Structure 1
Amino acid sequence: MLDNKVLEISFDLNTIDHLGVKLYSTIPPMIAELVANAWDADATNVEIILKDEDIKSIIVKDNGLGMTFNELNNNFLKIGRNRRKDTHISKTKKGRNVLGKKGLGKLSVFGIGNKVTITTIKNNLKNEFCMEYNEMKKTKGRYKPQIICCDEKTNEASGTQIKLENIRRSSAFDAKNIVDNLSKRFTIFSNDFNVSVQRNNESPINVTNEEYLEENAQFSWSFPEDFKEKMNNELFVFATNKNIKGKIYTSKTPLISEKRGIVLFSREKLVQENSSFDERANDNFFQYMSGYFNVDFIDEDDEIDVISTDRKSIAWDSDNNQDLVTIKRFLNVIVRETQKKWRQARRTDKENFIVNSINFSYQEWLKELTAQERPLAKKLGDAILNNDSISEEDTKTYFGHIRDMFSFESFKDFTAQLDDLNALEDEKAIKVLTDWQYIEAKEMAKVAEGRIKTINQFEKYINQNVSETKVMQKFLEEFPWLLDPKMTSFEREVTYSRILKENFPEKDLPESNRRIDFLCSNNAGVVHIIELKRPRIKISFKEVNQIVSYLSFLKKHCPDGVNPDEIHAILISNNYNMDDDVREMYMSLKGNKKLTIKSYDDLLSQARFYNNEFIKKYTEINEYKKMNN
């Protein structure tokens, strides 16, 4: 029953306009105010329900203490009530820091919608009423909300629900955006205070602080734990005495602008949005940095308020507040110190990456260079490692170039053209590496041109059907890359007896001196037995059986460390004309990966393709440089 009870709110229309409609024009900060109210009411669960399939509405429902009819009138509907000052209570019954202070949060709803319905239950009594912004504007500062029920008995659990309707926006709700926004506005989310956001019939999303603060972090530093070496600094002493704590994170890749910078919390609620706290914020470091600090002391005074109404920033110049001046200086210094730590950590990570990916130790390599080579090599290497914009993959590529540079004579001529090597800057060092690709291509093209001449000579020998023992073996011994550009070691005229004597000296060995033409291994650890035949010879059972017997013997007596399954036989001739029974035998061996027959024409084609790629690349780079000079 109403029993002539009346709810009334006294206000100045300009106050609602400026502190409600205009101040809270987006959904996340409005919902944040209602979440803060739920926290102060000792709620453990808050549901945020977004409806936009038909008529839009937003519901924020908590299981907190709820409010009586009198508390609604005297507390909730009282604009500008400083709860902490009025009650002299800064902690809830559960020991939580009270977040409410200005008494203006309830006006936030009118920045989003025109109608709000409040339903609250306490002591098994339900009270419900609604307020309409358009109706409030018609009054002269004293508005009586419409009471829907008053002190109605109920068995429902205590709590408060706020439903917002007549919403002033046409676009669909974005639940993930609201979750992200809430995540960066509080540090209160836990199992004891669970907040979820649900849009229509989608699965609810729980709000966590990690969603914002620790996402994609590569490195992190905590204060004061990771800054022990600076604790004698007067600013760090100040921060410790004020119980300031926090973390700075850095990501592996640049952050989106909304997540860059340090945020400040006081009493577990946002009081300062993202800021670099450094006048040099255009530095590359700030694209990777985020973090937070808890500065509870700035909101402990119930009389003095240095936080903006929308909780976006601290009034840093407020009445020459010396504590605020000092904390800003502290944040400036700790950001700079973190920047130094970050650069060193990134550099170390890059060095470890190139060690693991290309087995190249930068520091050990420097020691191997001459006294004349080392200064330039170090300048180039340091420029890459210290450049924040260069990724690990690009670092690996550049160090591959640097390592190759110092093995080419042309590089010495190239470095002589550099202006001032003693003051080599990052930009100039990068240019050196970029230009080196041209020089490297030129060097490789010279090698390739020589190889093309060799290939042409090899082709003449094939066409002349020269002897495999007198000409082919000697020629391939001189130019083994014709067999396979990837081969790493070659031994000609390898005898089984010598192999066995070197690896099995204690055994009795057969006296036969069976011979193979080449025993080769590639960089994958595969061993090839290569048998050469005169280009036009017809392959018969004799040639096939001979190389298969070599293969079987070597597999049986292979040295330690060699996998018998990784020993393969290759027979080379240019005549594929085999009898049917020989071909059938070969196809069986080929299917079992025991034998491969290649033609000399195959070797020619492969060698031409491999080396022509270098010449083609050099030609492309040369043409490009001509066009851009």
Structure 2
Amino acid sequence: MAQEELQVTFDINTIDHLGVKLYSTIPPMIAELVSNAWDADASNVYINFNNEGEKTITVSDDGTGMTFSELNEHFLKVGRNRRVEMHKDETEGGRKVLGKKGLGKLSMFGIGKKITISTIKSGIKNTFVMDYKQLKDCEGNVYKPSVIDYCVETDEKNGTSFLIEQLSRKSDFDIERLYRNLQTRFHIYSDKFVVHINDDEKYKIKSNDIPDDKFQFVWRYPEDFEKDFDTEIDKFKDLFEFGKEKGVHGKIYTSQTPLNKAVQGIVLFSRGKLVQEHSTFDDRANDNFFQYMSGYFDVDFIDSSFEVDNCSTDRKSLAWDIDENEELYKLKELLKKLVSVSQKKWREERKAEKKKKVSSHGHNVDEWIKTLNPAEKTLAKKLTDAIIDNDDINEETAAEYIGCIKDMYSFEGFKQFTAELDELQELDNEHAIRLLTDWNNIEAKEYAKITIGRIKTIEQFEKFIKDNASERDIIQKFLEEFPWLLDPKMSKFEREITYTNLLKRNFSDETDLPDSNRRLDFLCTNSAGVIHIIELKRPRIRLKTKEIQQISEYVEFIETQFPQTQGHVKGFLISDNMTYEPGAEKVRKGLESVDIFVKSYSDLLAEARRYNDDLYRMYENISSKKNENVGE
């Protein structure tokens, strides 16, 4: 049998514009070959990106393959509309046909200049080579590819393979990126149609479902939008019903964190193939929402006609500008509305979830605001909303900021400061951040107020000492109101506690109660858990051995009754007359080795002054830093 010839009749401008220039990147070109495999009822597509030596791409499938005549009459025919010509909308295997324009074979010339195609059908193999340079140089716009195998009998299974060589690229293939891109180009993957990349299990594509852990919120059309359109004007109700009638379905989802720019926006599929790349469907897509939003919709109805083609040639977008195409116009308006509704839902649900997480950190914003008076509530809500609504502030930081605001509301200086903030119409991000940076200054003012108040308290205490005031009637009561005079680090403070009450609190067996029920002036615990027993004497009293012995007995009692306190109890006897009766001085010195001390009121005053000097220096320090920042 004489060998037949393969023949391509073409216009070189068609090859250039619809092949070389239109398909200049790998993913859409590969997508055309995957479509061919689908239409050939293949179960598997094998793609190999070779980075070794001269780079090549191989794409093969296990579909039905083609005979020599089918290559000539169908595959190599440029611009063939398979559906019109075959009067069929489905493959032999019952799949919806993806191919329509007959331009897929040209796509390979956008990547490589030499294409070797081998196809097997019913035990007959045909192989030929298409060379771009030869194609451009041929005469009469008729190109005859070089046939390598002509109707050769083989035991190999049905299928078609494409070897693309003489690639223009020099850099290595980014397999991970190609995998992700190809995964998002179809909705046809399943156990019955699998794409294998470089024989690597992790790059096997048999589903394009997005993992649930990628979502923060998901809204599905039509079910999750029914109520939103029920309350809308008739125009939007009509759009909703139009989408349902046309079988439009899909979902919009948002992530916890901003998405890669390449996957932001919504994609559209028809018959499982990408027909619209990522789009926001919003003319003013400058809101933070669009950094978190992605999704997809299946719009098969746009590809239902054999003659009308609503897709752009490169399948990157729908032909939205087609005149008088009412269905495309309605689809676009529907998608715009769905994006707008999702944007509103996102703000509401994200705010509610963020509030919930902030509450888990101990700050229930709504409950706290209820406790404020009417004059404070408005601004408190404005401040907390500015933090909750700020997408750049995570839950942990938001909880920290709101905790600070709650604390600051107990400061009079902060309330005065917020009066100025309340004049603002809106607390945007910049104002909110400026507010947070001003808190140190507000805190500094509070330190100053505390310091001034404590200095006045110290002066009053000093006056009581000079006047030899009664330790029980005046000094004890004064120290109970201002315990920081005894020690600023005290965390627990009890005045005039008896042995009996102390034991009742810690022991249920009342037989352990002592015969004598003594009274301690002050029982305190500091932040380190050390117990301080403090006995006060009138300032000018001359200390006797009896008083020193008394504080020693108190310490011994605590350590005996509560063994766990051993080594963690200190006793202090306080007066302002440091002269002792004979023998008392020696007893005092001996007791210091077991943490029992005699101190003067003057010592307390000196320590209180030192502590408050530190507070005042802190105030000056913060103020000076604030002034430096203003100067800058």
TM class by shorter chain equals 0.7 to 0.9
C-alpha distance in 2 between matches for 1:139 and 1:612:
93
1:518 positional shift: 4.1
Aligned to 1:626: 630
Aligned to 1:420: 423
Aligned to 1:491: 494
The 3 A distance-change label for structure 1 pair 115 and 417 is same
1:453 positional shift: 7.2
Residue type at the aligned position of 1:330:
L
C-alpha distance in 2 between matches for 1:568 and 1:74:
101
C-alpha distance in 1 between matches for 2:191 and 2:245:
30
Aligned to 2:525: 520
| Equivalent residues of 1:529, 1:551 under 8 A apart | no
Aligned to 1:341: 345
Aligned to 2:69: 70
The 3 A distance-change label for structure 1 pair 475 and 311 is same
Query: Aligned pair 1:111/2:114, yes or no?
Result: no
* 1:210-229 superposed Cα distances (whole Å, 9 cap, x missing partner): 57686732111111111120
1:377 positional shift: 1.6
Query: Aligned pair 1:152/2:152, yes or no?
Result: yes
Query: Aligned pair 1:169/2:169, yes or no?
Result: yes
Residue type at the aligned position of 1:220:
V
* 1:186-207 superposed Cα distances (whole Å, 9 cap, x missing partner): 1122222221322xx9765123
Larger mean CA deviation between 117-126 and 362-371 belongs to 117-126
* 1:309-363 superposed Cα distances (whole Å, 9 cap, x missing partner): 1111111121310001111111111111111100001110121121011x11111
| Equivalent residues of 1:184, 1:213 under 8 A apart | no
The 3 A distance-change label for structure 1 pair 305 and 319 is same
Q: What aligned pairs does 1:440-459 form with structure 2 within 5 A after superposition?
A: 440-446=442-448, 449=451
C-alpha distance in 2 between matches for 1:225 and 1:278:
22
Aligned to 2:123: 124
SS, match of residue 413 in structure 1: helix
1:295 positional shift: 0.7
Aligned to 2:4: 5
The 3 A distance-change label for structure 1 pair 176 and 428 is closer
* 1:458-495 superposed Cα distances (whole Å, 9 cap, x missing partner): xx9xxxxxxxx99999979944598685x643336655
Aligned length: 570
1:157 positional shift: 2.3
| Equivalent residues of 2:250, 2:295 under 8 A apart | yes
The 3 A distance-change label for structure 1 pair 442 and 611 is closer
SS, match of residue 405 in structure 2: helix
SS, match of residue 372 in structure 1: helix
1:418 positional shift: 4.3
Find the structure with the greater CA-based Rg: 2
* 1:250-279 superposed Cα distances (whole Å, 9 cap, x missing partner): 122222322211111111111111111122
The 3 A distance-change label for structure 1 pair 17 and 555 is farther
Larger mean CA deviation between 500-509 and 14-23 belongs to 500-509
Residue type at the aligned position of 1:184:
T
* 1:104-147 superposed Cα distances (whole Å, 9 cap, x missing partner): 01111110111111122222222222211111111132222222
The 3 A distance-change label for structure 1 pair 478 and 425 is closer
**Unaligned segments of structure 1, at least 5 residues:** 461-468, 535-542, 557-563, 574-581, 587-599
C-alpha distance in 2 between matches for 1:572 and 1:55:
88
Q: What is the root-mean-square deviation of aligned Cα atoms in Å?
A: 4.0
Larger mean CA deviation between 225-234 and 57-66 belongs to 225-234
The 3 A distance-change label for structure 1 pair 377 and 151 is same
Query: Aligned pair 1:135/2:134, yes or no?
Result: yes
Q: What aligned pairs does 1:217-236 form with structure 2 within 5 A after superposition?
A: 217-232=215-230, 233-236=237-240
The 3 A distance-change label for structure 1 pair 412 and 448 is closer
SS, match of residue 117 in structure 1: strand
The 3 A distance-change label for structure 1 pair 48 and 494 is farther
C-alpha distance in 2 between matches for 1:621 and 1:306:
64
Query: Aligned pair 1:241/2:245, yes or no?
Result: yes
1:527 positional shift: 5.1
Residue type at the aligned position of 2:511:
D
Query: Aligned pair 1:322/2:320, yes or no?
Result: no
Identity of aligned residues (%): 42
SS, match of residue 308 in structure 1: coil
C-alpha distance in 2 between matches for 1:123 and 1:484:
95
1:17 positional shift: 0.7
C-alpha distance in 2 between matches for 1:53 and 1:514:
93
C-alpha distance in 2 between matches for 1:209 and 1:447:
66
| Equivalent residues of 2:63, 2:158 under 8 A apart | yes
The 3 A distance-change label for structure 1 pair 616 and 77 is farther
* Partner residue of 2:377 out of 353, 371, 374: 374
Residue type at the aligned position of 1:142:
V
SS, match of residue 55 in structure 1: coil
* Partner residue of 2:280 out of 270, 273, 276: 276
The 3 A distance-change label for structure 1 pair 283 and 513 is same
C-alpha distance in 1 between matches for 2:532 and 2:154:
93
C-alpha distance in 2 between matches for 1:193 and 1:548:
85
Aligned to 1:26: 25
1:307 positional shift: 0.4
* Partner residue of 1:309 out of 301, 307, 313: 313
Query: Aligned pair 1:186/2:208, yes or no?
Result: no
Query: Aligned pair 1:39/2:38, yes or no?
Result: yes
SS, match of residue 399 in structure 1: helix
* 1:65-97 superposed Cα distances (whole Å, 9 cap, x missing partner): 222222222211111111111112222333322
C-alpha distance in 2 between matches for 1:37 and 1:432:
59
The 3 A distance-change label for structure 1 pair 40 and 547 is farther
The 3 A distance-change label for structure 1 pair 104 and 29 is same
* Partner residue of 1:385 out of 388, 409, 417: 388
Query: Aligned pair 1:206/2:204, yes or no?
Result: yes
Query: Aligned pair 1:262/2:263, yes or no?
Result: no
C-alpha distance in 1 between matches for 2:254 and 2:115:
42
Residue type at the aligned position of 2:380:
A
The 3 A distance-change label for structure 1 pair 341 and 613 is farther
* Partner residue of 1:430 out of 410, 429, 432: 432
The 3 A distance-change label for structure 1 pair 207 and 570 is farther
| Equivalent residues of 2:523, 2:533 under 8 A apart | yes
C-alpha distance in 2 between matches for 1:34 and 1:475:
88
Larger mean CA deviation between 301-310 and 423-432 belongs to 423-432
The 3 A distance-change label for structure 1 pair 47 and 328 is same
C-alpha distance in 2 between matches for 1:56 and 1:482:
82
Aligned to 1:465: none
The 3 A distance-change label for structure 1 pair 23 and 387 is same
| Equivalent residues of 2:114, 2:129 under 8 A apart | yes
C-alpha distance in 2 between matches for 1:480 and 1:67:
95
Aligned to 1:411: 414
Larger mean CA deviation between 218-227 and 444-453 belongs to 444-453
C-alpha distance in 2 between matches for 1:145 and 1:545:
113
1:549 positional shift: 8.3
Residue type at the aligned position of 1:510:
L
1:386 positional shift: 3.0
C-alpha distance in 2 between matches for 1:544 and 1:18:
102
Aligned to 1:92: 91
| Equivalent residues of 1:411, 1:439 under 8 A apart | no
| Equivalent residues of 2:67, 2:124 under 8 A apart | yes
Aligned to 2:47: 48
C-alpha distance in 2 between matches for 1:15 and 1:405:
72
1:173 positional shift: 0.5
Larger mean CA deviation between 308-317 and 488-497 belongs to 488-497
| Equivalent residues of 2:47, 2:57 under 8 A apart | yes
The 3 A distance-change label for structure 1 pair 428 and 12 is closer
